[in-house]
Every structure is written in C-alpha cells, then in structure tokens.
Amino acid sequence: MHIMEGFLPWQWCVVWWIIAIPFLFMGVIQLRSMIRNDRDTLPLLGVCGAFIFILSALKLPSVTGSCSHPTGTGLSTMCFGVCITSIIGAIVLLFQSLLLAHGGLSTLGANMVSMAIGGPLAGYAIYRLLKNSSLNIYITVFLVTAVADLVTYVITSFELAVAYPSQVGGIIASFGAFFAIFAVTQLPLAIVEGCVLALVFKYIIALKPEILIKLQVFSEDQISRAQQQGSMVTRTDG
Amino acid sequence: MIGTYKLELITVLAILGFIAIFLFVSSGGNHEFSGSDDIGSQKISELTGKPVESYQPLIPQYEPPSAEIEATLFALQSAFGALVLGFIFGYWLGQRKSSQTT
C-alpha cells in the first residue's frame, strides 16, 4: 500500500500530511498519559505493536500474481483506539521509508492516512458496531482486523485516484484501476490476517484477561464466556 | 477436543487455503510476484503517460543497494516484533504461574 516517494504531487503530499497530524498529536497525548498512569497495560501495547511490525514486514504472494503485505493494525485499534495505533503505524512507516525506500518522507502523510489512520478508523467503526452484539467475540476480532486491513488498501486506491484521475472516466475509473491492483490482491491476505489475530486474541484472553477487562475492550461477561469456549489454557495452567 | 482448538484449526485451514491458491496461481501463467506497490507505480505512469523513471523523489532518500539487503532489513523488522512478542507472552505466562503458586 505504500505510495512510492515522488509518485504523489507535492500538493497532495501536503493535504495528507495535514490530515494525519491531528491524529498523531492526539496519539502522543494519549500515549503519554498511558505511560504515566497505566503501566500495567504497556505489555499489551507491546504485543499490538509487535504484530504491526511483524505483519507489515511480510510480503505475501496473492491471487493477482503480485505481492502485498498485511497491516496488523486491527488488534491495536480495538485495545487502544485509533490515535495510539496511528503512532505505532507511523513508526513502522517511517522505518520503511528511511531504510527500505518503501514509501518516502513526502508520501509518508498519505501512507499514514491509509495504513495508520484510515484502516484503523474503519476497523474501529466495525468494533463499536459489534462490541455489544451477541456475536462471538472472535468473529468480531476477525471482522475488525480484516476490515482494517482491506480499507487501508481502498484508501490507498482513493489517494492515487484523486491525484491521478483517468482521462476517460475521471476519478472513478482510475479508482477502479487502482482498486483492482491493491484491494483484490489484499482480500485473501485480509482473511488470513483476521484468522491469525483472532487466534492471538484467544491467547491474550487466556493469559491476561484482566487487561482487556480494564481497558473495557469487551465486557467481563463476554470474556469469561470466550474463556469457557477455549478452555485449553485452564487445563495447561492447572 | 476439536471444540477447544476450533480457532487454531480454522487458522491452519485458512493458511493452507492461502498456500493452495498461491500454488495454483503460480503454476499457471507467468506471474512475477512483484510488489503491488510497483504495479501501482506502473499504473500511475500508464495513466499519466509519463515513464516510471521520470518520477524522481521529492525528498532524497536512502535506497537499499540490493534485494538481499532489503530482505535483511525486512527480516530485522519482523524479528524485532517477534522478539517483543515472545518476551511479553513469556512474561505474562510467568506472572500467571507465580501468582498461582503463591
């Protein structure tokens, strides 16, 4: 989903940077207050961040004959919200643009809006929608992560489409062309990512349910029900 | 038994399905499996009619001299993530065990 350095006119670089900065600003404030007041939750932040690091480094082959990488932002979005996720995403994207020439400093704003902000925002919307429903929480986790992953690439397509409208058909035609490249490739990856992160969520519930309850990711009732479903850990622990 | 590991089973099946799709796609036709980022860049040059080489970085940037070095840096990135992950899960497991014995 990276837009390569130089491939975005500077006007659009500025626009996406301006959109990204308030989220980063809020993220820094939230992170500071968390580090000061809430040290127990820091390991969970580490786990969520670690998954963004791991998954966004894996470029996987897909149906369209090209490679793409998952984003891993869904887990962090559910536990800590969009702003803190945007900080972790920004760190990963900065690393990749400085050392790997994947994306660049001028397009970093646009890449942050798609991977670190837009995807998480969509995931968060799904999470809020399904949080209090009777749906199995693992299905909720699956949907949140898969949607956050997929929407990241939809936004990248949109960013490229508004910058490069097609001569015939304008923005919509060019959006379709970029969507076919990015989002279709991403669909199978999003499904696998959703499954893997749902599994990780199961292990977090097994080891540290109290953090999830404290952060009110899900209610105590939902978590204890999920624990009974996957009773593996109560056996190995006992 | 199966009920306990249902999620593990689904995940393994999803990964196997993913591999199967990959094998199927890579066996038919000539796919290069290049990054979708590069294909996106090619599409831009197609839409604007300007060659890919004409897009110069606005801000100069370091580029890994070879694909091997790039692979190393990506491996470092995910190794760092995996290190943090293993450390924290181990820490939690230890915390849980010691709180049960005392």
What are the pLDDT digits (tens) for A130-170? Answer: 988 888 889 999 999 999 999 999 999 999 889 888 888 88
Confidence of residue A233 (pLDDT cuts 50, 70, 90): very low
Helix ranges (DSSP H) in A107-167: 108-111, 119-130, 137-163
The answer as to whether A118 is a domain residue is: yes
Overall number of domains in chain A: 1
pLDDT (0 to 100) of residue A77 = 94
What ipTM goes with this model?
A: 0.84
* Contact call for B37 and A1, based on CB within 8 A: yes
Q: Is residue A60 part of a domain?
A: yes
Average pLDDT over chain A, rounded to an integer: 88
pLDDT the model gives residue B2: 63
Give the confidence band of A99 by pLDDT, cuts at 50, 70, 90. confident
Contact B85 A50 (CB under 8 A): yes
Name the residue among A39, A34, A129, A112 with its Cα closest to residue A80. A34
Flag whether pLDDT at A237 surpasses 80. Answer: no
Q: What are phi and psi of A60, to 5 degrees?
A: -110, 145
Domain ranges of chain B: 1-61, 64-102
Across A59-68, A95-104, A148-157, B50-59, the highest mean pLDDT is recorded for: A148-157
Asked if pLDDT for residue B30 goes beyond 80, the answer is no
A97: in domain: yes
Cα–Cα distance measured from residue A16 to residue A134, given in angstroms and rounded to the nearest whole number: 38
Q: Quick one: pLDDT at residue A231?
A: 53
**How many Cα neighbours within 13 Å face the side chain of B73?**
18
Tokens in use for A223? 């978590």
Q: What angle do CA A8, A11, A13 make, to 5 degrees?
A: 50
Rounded to an integer, the average pLDDT of B67-88 is: 91
With b meaning 16 or more CB within 10 Å and e meaning fewer, what string describes A114-139? bbbbbbbbbbbbbbeebbeeeebbbe
Q: Which of B5, B31, B61 has its CB closest to that of A105?
A: B61
Q: Which residues on B lie below 8 Å from A237 (Cβ)?
A: 96-97, 100
Cross-chain Cβ contact B61/A185 below 8 Å: no
Put simply, whether A181 touches B (Cβ < 8 Å) is yes
Arithmetic mean of pLDDT over chain B: 84
Given a cut of 80, is residue A235 above it in pLDDT?
no
Nearest CB neighbour to B84, from listed A50, A96, A181: A50
Q: How confident is the model at residue A238 (pLDDT cuts 50, 70, 90)?
A: very low
A50-75 per-position pLDDT tens digit? 999 999 888 888 877 778 888 989 99
| A190 at interface of B, judged by CB pairs closer than 8 A | no
Contact predicate A8/A108, CB 8 Å: no
CA–CA distance, A52 with A123 (Å, rounded to integer): 14
- CATH number of the structural domain spanning residue A88: 1.10.1760.20
Confidence of residue A193 (pLDDT cuts 50, 70, 90): very high
Residue A142 lies in a domain: yes
Per-residue pLDDT band at B1 (split at 50, 70, 90): low
Asked if residue A160 is part of any domain, the answer here is yes
The answer to whether the beta carbons of residues A51 and A197 sit under 8 Å apart is yes
Identify the sign of the CA torsion B3, B9, B11, B13.
negative
- Specify if A18 maps to a domain: yes
> Cβ of A192 and B18 within 8 Å?
yes
Residue A216 structural domain? 10-34+42-233
Q: Which of A120, A150, A69, A128 is nearest to B77 (CA)?
A: A69
pLDDT above 80: residue A232: no
Q: How many helices (H) and strands (E) does chain B have?
A: 3, 1
Residue A14: its pLDDT value, please?
A: 92
Pick the closest to residue A148 from A126, A168, A163, A165 (CA basis). A126
> Among the listed ranges A90-94, A151-155, A234-238, B93-97, which one has the minimum average pLDDT value?
A234-238
**In chain B, which among 54-73 make CB contacts under 8 A with chain A?**
55-59, 61-64, 70, 73
Look at residue A4 and tell me if it is in a domain. no
A203-214 mean pLDDT: 90
Give the E-state strand segments of B18-87 in sequence order: 34-35
Which residues does chain A have within 8 Å of residue B96's beta carbon, measured at their own beta carbons? 207-208, 237
